[in-house]
Amino acid sequence: MPHFAVHSKEDNVGVAITDIKKGEEVEGVYIDDGSPGPKLIALEDIPLGHKIALKDIKTGERVIKYGRPIGVATKDIKTGEHVHTHNLKSIRWGTLSKR
């Protein structure tokens, strides 16, 4: 059973569809076609509905969800970490290009 959903293959974050516990091996699912997504180890507890990093994201790098940038990392984020206001500065839709 998947632990998180990935909206687009270009995304670098997934959304927890269950509470995720630190140290748990978790698996994702791609929403567009239902295919299996990445498998990784959660480095932190991640509450239902919150984001999990699918890859390392460097400070200043765009955080991608829905295939579009939703914010910028305010510090380095490791694969499996909780992505939220403590390490992400949100942006308004349309203020950054998809590039």
Per-residue confidence (pLDDT) for residue 69, from 0 to 100: 95
Per-residue confidence (pLDDT) for residue 91, from 0 to 100: 85
pLDDT tens per residue across span 38-87 = 999 999 999 999 999 999 999 999 999 999 999 999 999 999 999 999 99
* pLDDT class of 93 with cuts at 50, 70, 90: low
Domain segments of the chain: what residues?
4-90
Give the 3-state secondary structure of residue 1: coil
Q: Within the chain, how many helices (H) and strands (E) appear?
A: 0, 9
Is pLDDT above 90 for 99? no
Instruction: From 60, 71, 62, select the one nearest 93 (Cα to Cα).
Output: 71
- What would the mean pLDDT of 9-38 be, rounded to a whole number? 97
CA distances from 70 to 9, 33, 46, 52, 66 (A): 15, 22, 19, 14, 9
Distance CA 21, CA 23 (A): 6
Per-residue confidence (pLDDT) for residue 18, from 0 to 100: 98
Annotation: CATH topology of 4-90: 2.30.130
